[in-house]
Structure 1
Amino acid sequence: MKLSKLIIAGLLMSALTACSSEEPAVTEAVNYTKTYEPLTFSNLDIPVNIEVIDGITYANGVLIVNKEIPLPEDYNPEMQPEVIEAYTQMFEDGAAEGLNFELVSGFRSYDYQAELYNNYVSRDGKEAADRYSAEPGHSEHQTGLAIDVGSYDSAVLLQTSFEYTPEFQWMKDVAHEYGFIIRYMKGKEDITGYMYEPWHLRYVGDKATEIYESGLTLEEYFGLN
């Protein structure tokens, strides 16, 4: 059974236990924390500790959201300051190399993601939309830790052809130095559930270099696949 399914199952079990209690229902939000036994991921031999706090899942302190692990609808952190600082520095350093980056997308609320996703489904159908767009509550953009970048000079925005721009060729090997990883990697579609997105960067801070050097997705790195 996938670890992510165990996480969801644990949340459901907690909810069922609460509902079966004879005590009066509690109307205010209840903090829920569940720490799973550390796992040893064979490729890296690192312990992985999973926590679910207030409906948000963390693996070794890294917030995780994907097709199976959701965020609460009311989770609304806005773009995180450390992310703004990191991509601003990366863009400035890129400019010094003659590169021109553009921030295409940053934080998205649950409601805004719902609007985007529903429009894509109406246009392309659910099966196609699910390859390139997250359902509301499952988007990394809702974390305030993800950005989409483009190449301003070539006007390549949110296209796989961004891979062939000078901006990407530089960024792919240095993004980890600023705390970012390319989240939806080429050849990993069956693991992430999404098409290759060379423009989508996820901020993971000081773990970025090790994840980058491993060549693994977050799911693989933390044994969530």
Structure 2
Amino acid sequence: MKKLFTVLVFSTLLLAACSNHSNSTDVSENDTQQQSDKSRKDQNVQKKHEKVIKNGCTYIDNILIVNKEVSLPSNFNPGENPESQQALQKMFNQAHKENLNLYKISGFRNYQTQVQLYNQYATRDGKKAADKYSARPGNSEHQTGLTYDVGAVGSDKNLYKSFGDTKEGKWIAKNAHKFGFIVRYPKGKEKITGYQYEPWHLRYLGKQTATKVYDSDQALEEYVGLK
């Protein structure tokens, strides 16, 4: 009986030790994961970005940057970029295969066109309101020739925030990067981009860069270190 009691006590202690070892391992793995996450964040913060200004245009990490603070010269007039045109058509073709009919609402706009458009909106809604959804002349991504507003054929949600809730809008959010595009003004990033959420506004960066931006879950300003 005494021998049996001794065996039971030893077994209990052994199980307790194993349990404590297991808990220790879990904590260690959690600590490692937290350290890994912190390391990735630190790397993002410490990442050095290469800024180049060429002919009045600003490039960061070889990405042409245009936003409320960074503008383009009034004479910058490249027209629509052929590579981005082809990528957009490939995206439309793939969407069509999945029974989604997308089309281009607008693409390249030169400086003077943006002057007319912005003034029209400012007259109608006031400058404060217009600045939330329309770029001032020289600050429009459409002037790059790399940007498109897209919509769904026959949809009454085009150019509205609710387009993001349509099957076409959801497909774009999930797949645009595979063709080299990002949703330039994503939801939740309004204070960073300076513009309202626009699920229809796509900026071409090329597949590799667009995928990196998509995976980072950052607005372009964050990705290139401006915010």
Question: Normalising to structure 2: TM-score of the pair?
Answer: 0.79
Amino acid at match of 2:213: I
* Higher normalized strand content (fraction of residues): 1
5+ long unaligned stretches in structure 2: 1-40
1:164 to partner: Cα distance: 1.4
SS at match of 1:102: strand
What secondary structure, in the 3-state scheme, does the structure 2 residue paired with 1:48 have?
coil
Q: Identify which of structures 1 and 2 has the higher relative contact order when contacts are C-alpha pairs closer than 8 Å and 6+ apart.
A: 1
- Where do residues 1-150 of structure 1 align in structure 2 (5 Å cutoff)? 42-43=43-44, 46-150=47-151
Query: Structure 1 or 2: larger helix share?
Result: 2
Partner residue in 1 for 2:226: 224
Q: CA deviation at 1:42?
A: 4.3
Change (3 A) 1:104 1:152: same
AA at the equivalent of 2:166? T
Give per-residue Cα distances to partners, 1:142-189, cap 9 Å, x unaligned. 000000001113243211111111111111111101000000011111
Shift of 1:44: 6.5
Against the structure 1 CA distance between its residues 41 and 152, is the aligned structure 2 distance closer, same or farther, given a 3 Å change threshold? farther
Q: Which amino acid aligns with 2:105?
A: V
Deviation per CA, 1:32-78: give whole Å up to 9, x if none.
xxxxxxxx984365331000001000011000000000000000000
1:176-187 pair list within 5 angstroms: 176-187=177-188
Stretches of 4+ moved more than 4 A in 1?
none
SS at match of 1:130: helix
The percent identity for this pair of structures is 51
Q: Which amino acid aligns with 1:167?
A: E
Q: Which moved more, 1:114-123 or 1:169-178?
A: 169-178
Give the total of aligned pairs.
186
Could you tell me which amino acid in structure 2 is paired with residue 179 of structure 1?
A: G
Q: Distance in 1 between matches of 2:42 and 2:145?
A: 27
Contact 1:41 1:48 in 2 (8 A): no
Per-residue CA deviation, residues 62-115 of structure 1 (Å, 9 max, x unaligned), is 000000000000000001001100010000000000001021110000000010
CA distance in 1, matches of 2:104, 2:126: 28
Could you list the per-position Cα deviations for residues 167-225 of structure 1 after superposition, in whole angstroms to 9, with x for gaps in the alignment?
11111111101000000011111110000000000001120001000010111011112
Does 1:207 pair with 2:209?
Answer: yes
Amino acid of the residue matched to residue 211 of structure 2? T
Q: SS of 1:172's equivalent?
A: helix
For 1:116, what is the secondary structure of its paired residue? helix
d(CA) in 1 for partners of 2:98, 2:219 = 28
Give 5+ residue unaligned stretches, structure 1.
Answer: 1-39
- The CA distance in 2 between the partners of 1:198 and 1:158, in whole Å, is 8
Distance 1:45-1:94 versus aligned 2 partners, 3 A rule: farther
Larger of the two Rg values belongs to structure: 2
2:118 maps to amino acid: Y
